Every structure is written in structure tokens, then in C-alpha cells.
Structure 1
Amino acid sequence: MSHPNHLYISLMPESLVASHLTPEEFGSYIATGTKKRARGQAIFFKLNDAYAATQITGDVARRMAERNPRRSLYLSIYRVLEHTPLEAIESVHLTADDGRVLSLKPAPYQTNPGPRFHLYQEFCPVTPRVVSAFEPREFAAHITDPAAPVSLPALVFAELKLDRLGDDPEATDVDNLPYPNLEHLRDCLRELRLKHGKPTKTVIRYLQQDVLFRTLTGGIYLAGVGGKFVYFPMPTQHQLETEFFPWWRSALSSFGA
């Protein structure tokens, strides 16, 4: 019996993986493992079948045909995202540490005036957390601009909730924000406010543990050189609490930063 071949880009860590598993099965596999001993979040892209067919050929196709349908095959672990056409990316999948998967499809992006400041978590190929005066599309263009002193060929990132701090670094009643060292976050926002020529400021240089999915606002963003930009919107709060409640319950009970 033949099994369909799927192609995924796993973001934590970055890798290209061929698999017989569906996105839901693959998410459970990489989040919990086959022995059910290790648990951890996962974020991955599914590439469309047409692109997958161009990559799973020859020896790779033979090895996949011989492979146990519960197994996956790693094809690359280096600079995967930048070498993948953005138009080949079909969907993104957020996997809670118990293996439950929330699947997001791309949709048109509309600029929202939003708050004065934003908090972004980068996922791939680098993982700092930064504050910025740029809204998501501006931030994407800024970070992938080859003319900038430091730039990336591609980037996956998400915006995290700042609540009242998004407009005022001195705001009170923000103890519900689950980030470590809120005073350091305030200092970074104050620096942005005072230095108008500095559009971004690093808060944390490396992602040291899982991100709380419940802090995501807006969705997942994918940026590429030349103004390429793909937006994967999060469901509304009502949808999370009704249509996607099993995943949302897992997300609410997970630990992160």
C-alpha cells in the first residue's frame, strides 16, 4: 500500500522533512515523540503537493517508499527557509506540547493602526524577541532589506501581546502579561520612545523556552526579500473557545515565556 508523501519545514529547529504523516499526525509526532516521554511545542509549515513532488524524487522517493508509514525522513537541516519559495508554503501548524495542532491558512493582510509599539518573537532562522515601532508588514520589510546593515533572506515571526504597554511603557495593571522581567521590557519600550531613529530594540537574544501560544496576537508572519509577505491569521477569541477549544485548552495549560 502506498502512502502520500508530504513535505514540511519544521521551525524549532529548522529542518526540511518528508513524511507520510498528515499535519495533525506529524505535529503529534514531533511534539511528543514516538515514546511519549519528551514533550515540547512545535511550529511547522506544510509545503504544497506540487512543490513536494519536485523535491521527493529519485533516491528520496525510493527511501520514502521503503519507509515505515509512521516514520519521517529529514532532508536538510541548514538554511531551509531561505531556499524555499514562499509561494510553496501552504499552511502553518502550531502544535501544543501535548501534540494538539492548530492549522492556519494564509489570508490577505490589512494594516491595522494598532498600538504605538509592538513585541515580536522571531522563530526562524533566528530567535530573538524584539520590540519595534513598526507594524508587522513594515517590520518584515525592514528585517529582510538587503540594503540594511543587518538583514535576513527570510523570517518567520509572530506578534505577542503587550496590552497597555503597547501605547505607554509606564502603564500599570499589566501583571497579567506572562513575560519574565517586565521592568526590562519597559526599559526597552522607553528606549524606543526616546530614540526616534531606532525602530527596533532586542529584548531577549535567544528563545530559551517554549512561547505561550496564548500570547500570540494577529497571527504568524512570513517575510522574504523583495517585499514578500505572507500572513496566517489566528482564529478569533470566540473561535478558539468554541471551534478550536481542545487546542486552546492545551495552549492555556502550557508553560513558556
Structure 2
Amino acid sequence: MSHPKYLYVSLMPESLVASHLAPEEFGAYVATGSKKRARGQAIFFKLTDAHAGGLLTPDHVRRMDERHPRRSLYLSIYRVLERTPIEAFESAHLTTDDGRVLTLKPAPYVPAAGPRFHLYQEFCPVTPRVVSSLEPREFAARITDPAEPVSLPALVFAELQLGRLGDDPEAADTNNLPYPNLEHLRDCLRELRLKHGKPTKTVIRYLQQDVLFRTLTGGLCLAAAGGQFAWFPMPAQEELEIHHFPWWRSALRSFGA
């Protein structure tokens, strides 16, 4: 029997998947490979070999071989993120709807001298889009703090570009922002500015379509209760254009919100 080499946590939808496919092949398969599945983006993490080895059983191997030696096998579709130790996440992978994969490696988190306000897209286990006065690590700590009235045991999210709105909700030059209903976004930022004791405000309750990867700024953030935090930084735009051009070109062509 051929042992599956990879274990992934997929976010869209949340699931734990064993596979013989390397990240680039797995991303392409998830985004475009099945005729039964609509074409679409994918975001997933590769788990460490040590963690995979502790979870994959002989029964999993047998079931994969019965299906097809190169197919993938869902191991779980419930509370996967919170049940996976944060140190087991080896790399993050952003896949465009035509199967191009960008790999992000973890790095020590470096707070940036960012704007006054931030726009965050949550990916798993919930998918609202929110504005916040908290920088990414502060936002992560608050939303995974069980002492808060509403909290999550774990969360994957990313910061999206706000441009001049990040400092001034009344800024006029916002033509480069691709988000629908900019006036509603402005209203959320205005409310955040006026209510100093309220650090977050929901803009959209549910992610209704693909996210424009080109709007991601900073990187992908993974948070867990107890102040645990991992950061998978995005390459600079110049690096994307030079070293990851096929992915970047695909990201620029994609439609989303």
C-alpha cells in the first residue's frame, strides 16, 4: 500500500484531507480538478510530516488505495482548525480559480506602522468581514479570548487593503478599492471612529464570493486561544511580479469582493 504523503487543513470548506498530491497539485485539483465541483478559489495549510504521521492510520491508507492511488481522502469536516495544534501548520497556500498556487512560509510577526483602521476578512471557522482599530495580533488575541462575550477557539484571517480610508473614512480618492458598497464601508469606519470603546464593526456577515487575493496585505494570520499566533507573510508586489508572475497574473484577473 502506498502511504499518503501529505495532510492538509482546507478552509473552503473547513476540512482535514489526506493526499498523495503535493501542494501545487492539490491546489490545482481542489480548484479545478473535479467535474462535479464548481471552479473556485482554495486556501489550505500543509501540516508537518510529524503531525501527519500521528494521525494517518492503516485504515486511512487502505481506503485511499481502494479509491485511487493519487486521490485525496477527507478525514474530518468538523472543528478541524481548533483541533490542530498551531505548531503543526507548516505552510499556507493560496490557490486562484484556475489552479495557480502561491506558497506562504511562516515567519516571526513584525507589526507594521499601519493605518488607524484595519479591514479584516475572516476565513475559518466563520467568514465575516470586519473593520477594526486593532492591529492584526491584537485583533487575533481579542477574538480568541474566551473571556470576551463572543470568541472563537481558533481563527484564520487576513488584512485587506483600505488605502486612504485606513486613516480617514472621508477620503475621496478610493477608486482603486474594489469592494462593493463603499459607502457602507465608510459608515462602518465612521462608527468605529466615533465609538472609542468599540474596537470592531462587522461590514459583511458572510463571505458570499471569492476574495480578491490582490487586496491581501501583510499576510495570512492564524490565531488560537491562549495568545497563540502564527503569521504567513505575503511577498511584496515586486517579488510577486518577478518570481510568482503566473499566480499574480491570475490573481489580477480574478473577480471577487
The alignment-based identity, stated in percent, is 80
Give yes or no for the alignment of 1:88 onto 2:88.
Answer: yes
Letter in 2 for 1:64: M
Q: Are the equivalent residues in 1 in contact too, given 2:96–2:251 (CA < 8 A)?
A: yes
**Partner amino acid, structure 1, of 2:46:** K
Q: Give 1:126's aligned amino acid.
A: V
Q: Distance in 1 between matches of 2:97 and 2:252?
A: 11
Read off the aligned partner of 1:84 and give its amino acid letter.
T
> What are the within-5 Å matches in structure 2 for residues 1-257 of structure 1?
2=2, 4-35=4-35, 38-257=38-257
Contact (CA 8 Å) 1:21, 1:69: kept in 2 or not? Answer: no
Q: 1:14 & 1:4 partners in 2: Cα distance?
A: 20
Query: In 2, are the aligned partners of 1:220 and 1:233 still within 8 Å (CA)?
Result: yes
User: Matched residue pairs, number?
Assistant: 257
**Where in structure 1 do 4 or more consecutive aligned residues deviate above 2 Å?**
1-5, 33-38, 64-67
Work out the CA distance in 1 between the residues paired with 2:113 and 2:151. 25
Of 67-76 and 127-136, more deviation after overlay is shown by 67-76
- 1:93-123 per-residue CA deviation (whole Å, 9 max, x = no partner) reads 0000000000000001111231000000000
Structure 2 unaligned runs (5+)?
Answer: none
1:192 is displaced (CA, Å) by: 0.4
Counterpart amino acid of residue 158 in structure 2:
A
What TM-score, normalized to structure 1? 0.97
- Aligned partners of 2:243 and 2:5: how far apart in 1? 28
SS at match of 2:243: coil
Cα distance in 2 for residues equivalent to 1:62 and 1:38: 28
Q: TM-score by structure 2 length?
A: 0.97
User: CA–CA distance in 1 between the matches of 2:223 and 2:105?
Assistant: 15
Is the 1:3–1:69 contact (alpha carbons within 8 Å) kept by the matching residues of 2? no
TM-superposition CA deviations, 1:221-256 (whole Å, max 9, x none): 000001100000000111010100000000000000
Q: CA deviation at 1:36?
A: 8.8
Cα-to-partner distance string for 1:134-160 (whole Å, 9 max, x where unaligned): 000000000000100000000000000
Q: Extract unaligned runs of 5+ from structure 1.
A: none
Q: What secondary structure is seen at the aligned counterpart in 2 of 1:242?
A: helix
RMSD (Å), alpha carbons: 1.3
In 2, the alpha carbon distance for the partners of 1:52 and 1:64 equals: 15
Q: 2:126 & 2:35 partners in 1: Cα distance?
A: 29
Q: Aligned partners of 1:188 and 1:69: how far apart in 2?
A: 50
